């Protein structure tokens, strides 16, 4: 069964350092999402792509976060510089259709900022 | 395994019993509701969805009920199994231009053997 691939699975970094997360969506899925999940809470949308274009990045802290999906396939989420409050699970998801509630999530990248 | 949430509301049920997980939403503009299951250390997994023009939808062992009058959503799991132990999230899509999927707070389901 096709899955959303994410790496790294775990990342520990010191504050002020740069971190990057990678996501490879299910083949054929044009819509890609990055969510952040703080322990004990539901996922929060950071950015949504349709092919290579950003559809929604209203909740992305643009002073330190950036996301790209240059060829409309895989995507990278970067944080620079990392802050203590960025410690969370970063989840990537993809969907076949743009306006759907059926998202396929990866296993996430757990970030710990010391 | 990794803990998804340490301070979530928890529902404990006996294996074989039925489970009912509740969710309240606040936005009258929400048109589409979805339930996700998140096991420890994994990403959320789609379970079932329902549109606002329906009040009930059934899947395999699961039923979602929607009461638009009181803005309430529930997920019923029949004959709960140990593999159902997870955190369950309701989510909604706002029918504005963004069509953004918004997750609510979760409920942890514990199945007692």
**DSSP letters for chain A:** ----EEE-SEEEE-TT--EEEEEE--TT--EEEEEEE-TTS--EEEEEEETTEEEE-TTS-TTTEEEE-TTSS-EEEEESS--GGG-EEEEEEEESSSS-S--EE---EEEEE-
How far A90 CA sits from the closest chain B CA (Å)? 10
Contact between residue A32 and residue A45 where contact means Cβ atoms under 8 Å apart:
no
Per the CB < 8 A criterion, the answer to whether A37 and A91 are in contact is: yes
**Which token pair is B65?**
């009920």
Contacts of B3 in chain A (CB under 8 A): 39
Q: How far apart are CA A65 and CA A97, in angstroms?
A: 26
Q: What separation in angstroms does the CA of A61 have from each of A43, A101, A109?
A: 16, 24, 18
* A55-73 tens-digit pLDDT: 999 999 999 999 999 898 9
Instruction: Give residues with Cβ within 8 angstroms of B61, minimum separation 6.
Output: B77, B78, B79
**pLDDT category, A109, cuts 50, 70, 90?**
very high
The tokens of B88 are what? 């369950």
Instruction: Tokens for B69, please give them.
Output: 């009058």
pLDDT, one tens digit per residue, over A84-105 is: 999 999 999 999 988 889 999 9
Q: What is the pLDDT of residues B38-75, one digit of tens each?
A: 999 999 999 999 999 999 999 999 999 999 999 999 99
* Res B7: pLDDT: 57
Quote the CA–CA distance of B101 and B106 in Å, as a whole number: 15
On the question of pLDDT at B4 being above 90, the answer is: no
Residues in chain B closer than 8 A to A106 (CB atoms): 43
Residue B95 scores a pLDDT above 90: no
> Could you tell me which residue, B29 or A84, shows the higher pLDDT?
A84
Contact criterion met (CB < 8 Å) for B43 and A102: no
Q: Mean pLDDT throughout A16-41?
A: 96
Q: Identify which of B32, B41, B101 has the shortest CB distance to residue A103.
A: B101
Cα dihedral B88, A104, B46, A95 sign: positive
Q: Which DSSP category does B84 fall into?
A: G
- The answer to whether residue A30 scores a pLDDT higher than 90 is yes
**pLDDT of B94 strictly over 80:** no
């Amino acid at each position: 069964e096709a899955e959303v691939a994410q790496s790294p699975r775990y990342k520990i970094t010191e504050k002020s350092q740069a971190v990057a997360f990678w996501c490879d969506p299910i083949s054929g899925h044009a819509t890609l999402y990055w969510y952040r999940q703080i322990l004990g809470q539901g996922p929060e949308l950071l950015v949504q792509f349709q092919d290579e274009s950003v559809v929604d990045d209203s909740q992305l802290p643009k002073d330190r976060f950036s996301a790209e999906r240059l060829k409309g396939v895989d995507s990278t989420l970067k944080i620079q510089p990392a802050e203590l409050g960025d410690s969370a699970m970063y989840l990537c998801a993809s969907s076949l259709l743009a306006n759907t509630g059926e998202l396929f999530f990866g296993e996430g990248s757990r970030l710990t900022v010391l | 395994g990794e803990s998804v949430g340490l301070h979530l509301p928890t529902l404990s049920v006996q294996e074989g019993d039925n489970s009912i997980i509740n969710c309240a939403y606040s936005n009258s503009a929400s048109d589409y509701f979805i339930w996700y299951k998140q096991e420890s250390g994994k990403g959320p997994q789609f379970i079932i969805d329902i549109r606002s023009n329906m009040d009930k939808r059934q899947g395999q062992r699961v039923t979602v009920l929607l009461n638009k009058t009181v803005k309430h959503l529930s997920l019923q799991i029949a004959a709960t199994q140990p593999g159902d132990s997870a955190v369950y999230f309701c989510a909604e899509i706002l029918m504005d231009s963004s069509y953004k999927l918004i997750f609510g707070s979760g409920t942890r389901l514990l199945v007692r053997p």
